[in-house]
Amino acid sequence: MHRKPGTISDQNPTPADRTGATADVIVVGAGPTGLLLAGDLAVAGLNVTLLERRAPGLSNLTRALTVHTRSLEQLDARGLADELVAGGHALQRLQLFGGAVLKPSRLPSRFPFTLITPQYEVERLLERRAQKAGVTFRYGARVTGLDQDTHEVRARVREEDGATATYRAAYLVGADGVRSAVREAIGLPFPGRSVVSSIALADVRLDERPDVPLIANATGDTIALIADFGDGWYRVIGWDRRRQIPEDVPVEPDEIRTYLRLAFGSDYGMHDVRWTSRFHSDERQVPRYRVGRAFLAGDAAHVHSPAGGQGMNTGLQDAANLSWKLAAAVRGDAPDGLLDSYHDERHPVGRMVLRSSGTLIRAAQLRSAPARALRAAGARLLNVTPPLADLALSKISGVGIAYPAGRGAHPLAGKRAPDLRLAGGTRLHEALRGGAFVLVTPVGETLPGGGELPGGEVLPGGEVLPGGGELSGADFVGAEPASGAGAVPDAEIVPDAGTVPYAGAVSSEAAGVPGAGPAPDAGAAVGPRLVRATWDSARRTALLVRPDGYIAWATDASDPAVRAESLRGALVHWTGAVLTAARTAARS
């Protein structure tokens, strides 16, 4: 049953000292995962409340410092990547423990690098976007309990002034970190183990600049890393198995200097420590990412060692996967199983990241001479076997992550869609900024996409691109994708093959909000939104790209009727749309 965004059931209210907000979705946690998710939902026109236990204001007390290629692509699909890249260090070469070298410059992307930038810069951009999109922020708000029924979820919250309130919504997402109150409230276990304890972090200045912006080394007993933020400050991470210090003991500057000397033979003239922290690292994952109307994302769902710098990145991908599905559910357009597909797609990725980061940290901790020699041999093999290095890089960077496709699906289904270059300088990531599906077909093809379907059927929903924007002549950006990334056959640059207008497109800029589509008209028909794009008429491949940039459907069939019927089935599967003239008329 369809419900307009901004409304929820009024059944079974929970008594409280104060009435909290009523929303479509409550997001708990204002870290990168929660901020991206809340912003996406608000851009989609939903009423979103974000609860954060911290006081207002961004904090330097953050550990993440790397933004990988796939995360940059997701930020690009929201109009945020270029600003973030401008303030960070772009690394096209990564040196790992044991001498292994990975080269992000080989990645098939507009962002063939790993970006070094502090997590708070990512949070700053995402918070600004969420605020402009209309997210309601509640700082100093601690979730103390949660209950739900078939209509809504209710969060009991202790607010900054000590009063209690109940916040109600259709759905709730816990993105509140490793000590998640939401996870505890819904009763999910967090099985796993501790892998590294007493890891010290510090932001410092150095008199001597390392040769590369990111350097790491492991000696058997000691592991250390230095990352250049590019503004005169460096993040140092250090660990020594012989120095297992309780987490509540402050990190002293001399301790950091010791780690640097042991790992690199120099402390690089370290001085001016502005922040320190000490933590331990676990490997844990919840068995389920969804319990009824409550979901978990980011560190609330999975946590692992910092090796590989995948923690924040995995959380951002969780948010990108979940946000469009929740928006569809609130609009009433989610087919059966769409919300469950969040767990089905992301839980295996979280498990893979636990394994890969665990492998890296254990390799760094190898102590015996034979084991370290074996590690060095593995590094040499990686360095002289580009396909093997590309496979490892595709997983760490995220571009090689693919989701399961159904039996008989096209080989591209479930894989990341490379950024298509479109006529007039437009790209696929720009077309995705309104949160719509994007249908890419050869020029002149009459597949459904806002126009007439065979039998007079019309796809409902969608807005018109201001200015009558046109797309054509697409090509895949970048070189041959890394193993597992997927590619359309013969994906070289192609000439402009003429133009056709969008049929049901979404603006990429609205009300000054980068990546925000126009606010839905309350009186407009609500339905799945589709952006229509075209490419070279000589190509047979047609693609339907999901709002999170993954290929939902593809076909190379030569029979137009087969192609149209196949697309019709994909739209029903992914959007629940029954493409009949009767339903279209009813919705109108």
Residue pair 443/537 in contact by the 8 Å Cβ criterion = yes
What is the spatial distance between Cα 213 and Cα 91, in angstroms, rounded to a whole number? 7
Kindly state whether residues 214 and 141 are assigned to the same domain: no
What is the spatial distance between Cα 342 and Cα 562, in angstroms, rounded to a whole number? 30
Closest CA to 386 of 20, 107, 6: 107
Domain assignment present for residue 88? The answer is no
In the chain, the largest separation of any two C-alpha atoms, in whole Å, equals 76
The last residue of one of the domains, among 254, 283, 312, is 283
Domain assignment present for residue 425? The answer is yes
DSSP code of residue 519: P
Q: Tell me whether strands 420-421 and 475-476 are parallel, antiparallel or unpaired.
A: antiparallel
Domain assignment present for residue 7? The answer is no
Please tell me the predicted confidence (pLDDT) of residue 292.
97
Q: Across the 588 residues of the chain, what is the mean pLDDT of every consecutive 10-residue run? A: 43 51 93 98 97 79 86 98 95 78 89 93 96 97 96 95 94 97 97 89 95 85 90 92 88 96 96 91 95 98 89 97 97 91 97 88 79 82 84 91 90 92 74 89 61 30 27 33 33 25 27 33 42 65 93 91 89 73 39
Domain assignment present for residue 415? The answer is no
The CA R_g of the chain, rounded to the nearest whole Å, is: 24
The CATH number of whichever domain residue 274 belongs to comes to 3.30.70.2450
The last residue of one of the domains, among 283, 317, 337, is 283
Kindly state whether residues 125 and 196 are assigned to the same domain: no
**CA 399 → CA 317, 418, 480, 484, 491, distances in Å?**
11, 9, 12, 8, 17
- 100-103 LR contacts (CB < 8 Å, sep 24+): 100/378, 100/379, 100/382, 100/383, 101/382, 101/383, 101/389, 102/382, 102/389, 102/392, 102/393, 102/396, 103/389, 103/393
The CATH number of whichever domain residue 310 belongs to comes to 3.50.50.60
Kindly state whether residues 164 and 313 are assigned to the same domain: yes
Please tell me the predicted confidence (pLDDT) of residue 38.
99
Kindly state whether residues 125 and 23 are assigned to the same domain: yes
Kindly state whether residues 160 and 204 are assigned to the same domain: no
Kindly state whether residues 128 and 265 are assigned to the same domain: no
For 450, the domain range is: 420-587
What is the spatial distance between Cα 512 and Cα 129, in angstroms, rounded to a whole number? 10
Q: Tell me whether strands 530-535 and 551-555 are parallel, antiparallel or unpaired.
A: unpaired
Kindly state whether residues 123 and 214 are assigned to the same domain: no
Sign of the dihedral through C-alpha 126, 131, 134, 139: positive
Please tell me the predicted confidence (pLDDT) of residue 155.
97
What is the spatial distance between Cα 583 and Cα 456, in angstroms, rounded to a whole number? 12
Q: How many CB atoms lie within 10 A of CB 381?
A: 12
Residue pair 65/235 in contact by the 8 Å Cβ criterion = yes
Kindly state whether residues 547 and 505 are assigned to the same domain: yes
Residue pair 49/201 in contact by the 8 Å Cβ criterion = no
Residue pair 307/361 in contact by the 8 Å Cβ criterion = yes
The last residue of one of the domains, among 256, 283, 310, is 283
- Please provide the DSSP assignment of 84-127 as one string: HHHTSEEES-EE-GGG-EE-GGGSSSS--SEEE--HHHHHHHHH
What is the spatial distance between Cα 494 and Cα 497, in angstroms, rounded to a whole number? 8
HSE-CB at 458 with a 13 A cutoff on CA atoms is: 16
The H or E element that residue 555 is part of is strand 551-555
Kindly state whether residues 233 and 305 are assigned to the same domain: no
Closest CA to 167 of 186, 150, 147: 147
Residue 553 is which amino acid?
W
Kindly state whether residues 458 and 469 are assigned to the same domain: yes
Domain assignment present for residue 483? The answer is yes
Please tell me the predicted confidence (pLDDT) of residue 86.
95
Kindly state whether residues 214 and 155 are assigned to the same domain: no
Domain assignment present for residue 77? The answer is no
HSE-CB at 270 with a 13 A cutoff on CA atoms is: 24
Q: How many CB atoms lie within 10 A of CB 310?
A: 28
Residue pair 75/81 in contact by the 8 Å Cβ criterion = yes
Torsion angle in degrees (nearest 10) through CA of 83, 86, 89, 92: 90
Residue 561 is which amino acid?
A
What is the spatial distance between Cα 353 and Cα 115, in angstroms, rounded to a whole number? 19
Kindly state whether residues 153 and 209 are assigned to the same domain: no
Domain assignment present for residue 134? The answer is yes
- Please provide the DSSP assignment of 383-416 as one string: HH-HHHHHHHHHHHHSTT------TT--TTTTSB
Please tell me the predicted confidence (pLDDT) of residue 526.
34
Domain assignment present for residue 356? The answer is yes
Q: Please count the structural domains in the chain.
A: 3
How many residues appear in the chain? 588
Please tell me the predicted confidence (pLDDT) of residue 484.
34
Place of tokens 């990686």: 382
